[in-house]
Amino acid sequence: MDYNADVNPEEWLELLWGLQHWAAVRGEVAARVRAACLVECVPAHVAAYVAFLARHAAAEPAPSARELTPLVLDLSQLVMERTCVMSAILPPAEARDPPPPHDARAHATLYHLTCILHNHINQIRTNDTEDANMETESEEAGEEGEGGEPAWTQGEKLVLHWPNGKRASLHVVVAHAHLKLLCYGPSIYDTNQEMYSWLQSVWVGGGGPGVGAGAGELLPDWLRLHLVRSARPPLLEAGLRALPAHKLALFIQTFGMPVASMTSV
**DSSP string computed for 64-110:** PHHHHHHHHHHHHHHHHH-HHHHHHHS--SS--SSPPPP-HHHHHHH
pLDDT of residue 145: 46
Give the residue from 224, 225, 180, 173 showing the smallest Cα distance to 199: 180
Give the contacts of 145 (CB within 8 A, at least 6 positions apart).
31, 70, 151
Q: pTM for the complete prediction?
A: 0.84
The Cα 63–Cα 69 span in angstroms is 10
In contact, 210 and 216? CB cutoff 8 Å? no
pLDDT of residue 132: 45
Burial 235-265 (b: 16+ CB within 10 A, else e): bbebbeeebeeeebeebeeeeebbebbeebe
Q: What is the mean pLDDT of each successive set of 10 residues along the chain, which is 265 residues long?
A: 64 89 92 95 95 93 88 96 95 71 92 97 79 47 45 68 90 94 94 94 86 65 86 85 78 69 63
pLDDT of residue 102: 82
